[in-house]
């Protein structure tokens, strides 16, 4: 790809190119790969046109944020910065063989983030300091505009696109693409949808705007709408990564304080089909009650997929898919008011743990041993076979759904 001149780079920025396009052109301009980190240490962009064989940063880009170790290094800027540079710069070479150079991205005295240049095919000594400074200025201008004017733009564009997607108002993909181009939504990344039923919340608590403002503190890059008392958050997958334990610990505390529950969809990469994943998130909310002991107040659709699949079987036909012995237990429980089927399901869901089953049902272990003994007599020697156990558990879960209808 052709290397842009300084004037072309400036003109590109003035013409209103996207942030990702600007990063690509800046990488070509500096002849080295770039990673842009915001002031919360999240990776918000990186170059694709020029890359480097740097496993540490490849992993960081995939995660979407730098490690705590590296965040601590950046936080110790005053002590570690290069003393011989006229600009705010730090050179790091301890973690990988490739040197990295960081520059402050600041606008009007406000630190917005960091430019990370990895020394690839072009040595740092061959890159003019003024060129790096120009790049930080152009990036700062765009980041400042996004941070300080992006809320209104997201409200008028991103939120409008999300509202139309939720309502199913786009006639076709061409219609959708025409609208999404006027927003800041990135169509080349993965997404997740988070949903929550607010039916009994907004009436007694904060208004919609206050509530959305609180959630934006948790998901600052998310787009949030409330439609018919259903909260919908559209969030890039990298900002809703299940491995981000700090984020989800904060989310769980927030949900506990508010008395709410969230459902979270599978990741997806086609915004046009957002309604499918909105439905997944809502199903996760509804079906979490069937989980044995939900650990959190948020539920990923992955956790309830079995119940989602079984719930597609028409109610009147569910018994047709159950094994005979399980149906016999179910009918016995209904007639004699016993709990053999519940005991069996908990026993299988706890990996055949007598202790865990007894604790969950709040009964003595001898009671569970007695019940499992009776159940084993009903099923015979195949009770302990893996395939049989899977069929039995699916039958139990089907009847669990039937009992709740």
Query: Residue 80 belongs to a domain with what CATH number?
Result: 3.30.450.40
Q: Could you say which of 256, 286, 310 is where a domain stops?
A: 310
In this predicted structure, what is the pLDDT of residue 205? 47
Statement to judge: residues 18 and 136 lie in one domain: yes
Do both 227 and 329 map to the same domain? Answer: no
Q: Are residues 246 and 267 in the same domain?
A: yes
Query: Rounded to whole angstroms, how far apart are CA atoms 202 and 262?
Result: 15
Q: Report if residue 175 sits inside a domain.
A: no
> Per the domain annotation, does 321 fall within a domain?
yes
pLDDT of residue 305: 94
Same domain, 14 and 125: yes
| pLDDT of amino acid 40 | 74
pLDDT score for 315: 85
Range of the domain at 373: 315-404
Residues 250 and 344 in one domain: no
User: Which of 128, 148, 168 is the last residue before a domain boundary?
Assistant: 148
pLDDT band at 203 (very low <50, low <70, confident <90, very high): very low
Last residue of a domain, one of 257, 283, 310: 310
Query: Considering the domain boundaries, does residue 233 fall inside one?
Result: yes
- Per-residue tokens: 368: 């569970």
Question: Both ends of the chain: CA-CA distance in Å?
Answer: 61
Task: Choose from 181-185, 286-290, 378-382 the range with maximum mean pLDDT.
Answer: 286-290
The pLDDT of residue 209: 64
Q: 135 with 208, same domain?
A: no
C-alpha count within 13 angstroms, C-beta hemisphere, residue 205: 16
In DSSP terms, 45 is beta-bridged to 36
Contact 117, 134 (CB under 8 A): no
Mean pLDDT of the chain: 86
pLDDT in tens, 319-337: 888 888 899 899 988 899 9
Residues 131, 264: one domain? no
Residue 204 sits in a domain whose CATH number is: 3.30.70
Least confident among 2-11, 19-28, 139-148, 285-294? 139-148
Given a contact cutoff of 8 angstroms between Cβ atoms, the answer to whether 64 and 85 are in contact is no
Average pLDDT over residues 203-219: 70
Supply the pLDDT for residue 318.
Answer: 86
pLDDT at 207 exceeding the cut of 60: no
Instruction: Report how far residue 98's alpha carbon sits from residue 93's, in angstroms, rounded to the nearest whole number.
Output: 6
| Structural domain contains residue 370 | yes
163 is a domain residue: no
| pLDDT tens for each residue of 68-94 | 777 778 878 888 888 888 888 988 876
Residue 162, domain member (yes or no): no
- The CA distance from 371 to 364, in Å, is 11
**155 located within any domain:** no
pLDDT at 307: 92
Compute the average pLDDT of residues 217-230: 86
Residues 126 and 241 in one domain: no
The span from the CA of 191 to the CA of 266, in Å, is: 8
Could you tell me if 196 and 263 are in contact, meaning their C-beta atoms sit under 8 angstroms apart?
A: yes
Same domain, 218 and 340: no
Domain count within the chain: 3
What pLDDT is attached to residue 204? 44
Same domain, yes or no, for 342 and 360?
yes
Specify whether 292 is located in the same domain as 354.
Answer: no
| Assigned domain for 168 exists | no
When comparing pLDDT for 347 and 52, which is higher?
347
Query: CATH number of the domain that 395 lies in?
Result: 1.10.10.2840
Taking alpha carbons only, the member of 252, 227, 118 closest to residue 168 is 227
336 and 387 together in one domain: yes
């Amino acid at each position: 790809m052709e290397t842009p001149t300084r004037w072309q780079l400036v003109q590109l920025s003035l013409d209103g190119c996207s942030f990702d396009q600007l990063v690509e052109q800046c990488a070509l301009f500096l002849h080295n790969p770039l990673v842009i980190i915001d002031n919360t240490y999240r990776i918000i962009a990186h170059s694709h046109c020029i890359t480097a064989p740097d496993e540490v940063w490849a992993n960081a880009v995939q995660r979407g944020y730098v490690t705590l170790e590296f965040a601590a290094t950046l936080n110790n800027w005053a002590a570690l910065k290069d003393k011989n540079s006229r600009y705010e710069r730090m050179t790091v070479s301890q973690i990988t063989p490739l040197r990295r150079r960081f520059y402050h991205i600041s606008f009007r005295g406000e630190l917005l983030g960091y430019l990370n240049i990895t020394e690839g095919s072009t040595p740092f000594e061959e890159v003019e300091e003024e060129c790096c400074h120009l790049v930080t200025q152009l990036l700062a201008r765009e980041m400042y505009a996004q941070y300080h004017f992006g809320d209104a733009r997201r409200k008028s564009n991103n939120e409008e696109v999300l509202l139309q997607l939720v309502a199913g108002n786009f006639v076709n993909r061409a219609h959708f693409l025409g609208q999404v181009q006027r927003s800041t939504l990135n169509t080349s990344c993965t997404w997740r949808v988070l949903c929550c039923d607010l039916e009994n919340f907004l009436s007694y608590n904060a208004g919609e705007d206050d509530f959305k403002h609180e959630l934006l503190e948790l998901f600052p890059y998310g787009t949030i709408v409330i439609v018919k008392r259903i909260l919908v958050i559209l969030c890039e997958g990298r900002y809703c990564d299940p491995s981000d334990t700090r984020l989800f610990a904060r989310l769980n505390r927030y949900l506990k304080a508010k008395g709410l529950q969230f459902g979270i969809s599978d990741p997806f990469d086609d915004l046009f089909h957002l309604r499918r994943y909105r439905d997944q998130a809502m199903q996760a909310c509804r079906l979490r009650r069937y989980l044995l002991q939900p650990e959190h107040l948020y539920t990923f659709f992955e956790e309830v997929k079995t119940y989602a699949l079984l719930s597609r079987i028409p109610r009147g036909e569910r018994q047709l898919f159950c094994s005979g012995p399980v149906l016999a237990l179910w009918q016995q429980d209904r007639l004699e008011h016993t709990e053999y089927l519940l005991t069996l399901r908990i026993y299988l869901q706890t990996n055949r743990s007598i202790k865990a089953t007894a604790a969950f049902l709040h009964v003595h272990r001898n009671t569970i041993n007695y019940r499992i003994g009776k159940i084993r007599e009903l099923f015979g020697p195949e009770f302990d076979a893996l395939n049989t156990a899977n069929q039995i558990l699916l039958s139990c879960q089907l009847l669990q759904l039937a009992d709740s209808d």
